[in-house]
Amino acid sequence: MYVLGVDLSGPANHRDTAAALFKMEGEELKLITLQNGLSDADLLSLAMKTEGAVLAAGLDAPLSYNDGGGDRPSDRWFRKEMIKSGLHPGSIMTPTLTKMVYLTVRGIALASMLERTVPGIQIAEVHPGSALLKRVPEEEKGHVLLYKKEPESGSYLIEWFRTQRITGIPDRELSSHETDAIAAGMAVRDWILGRPKVLFPKQPPHHPYDLIC
């Protein structure tokens, strides 16, 4: 089985789109490739490297929107849940906000393309920052709030990932987008194993994917 973690940006921002593809063996994630600057075509090509094996993908983007606008039920619930763990309320944004809507469009389109391209794929909407907050030890959670700005915190997370049965992470500084892609893959692994830290179940047809961290 393979796991794909994707930190997605808007359609015009390939530079800040990163993905991590893993081979999953039991509880271990073996990193196969970690890439930056990805278009939709690049992401589809990466997903097809699984050669017919089962693939589970976690996309860091809204994969649905609320009919009529505003928060989805999952957004409201997830925001309240994660505030308890120290996440800033603004980290969970409404999918139709001006600064989010293009990401939402790309997320919905990519999920649809993946389902048409990769038979049997399992897809979840994932929030990598929340995945880290729910797993990193309490006394080290400051690193989760700082890794996008402080190299020291990014380095801490690289070493911490290695304690979570994630192998193959390169010995170099990672971008925050690469870190998020790895965290997304970690959350998907735990979802597949039936132990997500937080899960809001899908509500088809309007909200067809689980929201996890």
Work out the number of other CB atoms within 10 angstroms of the CB of residue 100: 17
Assigned token pair, 174? 């990672």
Averaged over 188-208, what is the pLDDT?
Answer: 98
Residue 88's pLDDT band (cuts 50, 70, 90): confident
| Domain count of the fold of the chain | 1
- DSSP code of residue 142: H
Place of tokens 């992470």: 169
C-alpha dihedral sign at 81, 85, 90, 91: negative
pLDDT in tens, 52-69: 899 999 999 999 999 999
Give strand pairing partners of 97.
none
Q: Whole-model pTM?
A: 0.96
Range of the domain at 162: 2-212
Structural element, H or E, at residue 58: strand 55-60
**Under a CB-based contact definition with an 8 Å cutoff, are residues 74 and 211 in contact?**
yes
What is the model's pLDDT at position 47? 96
The strand pairing partners of 34, in sequence order, are 20
Averaged pLDDT for residues 29-39 = 98
Question: What mean pLDDT value characterizes the chain?
Answer: 96
Q: How far apart are CA 74 and CA 68, in angstroms?
A: 15
β-pairing, 28-36 vs 166-167, is: parallel
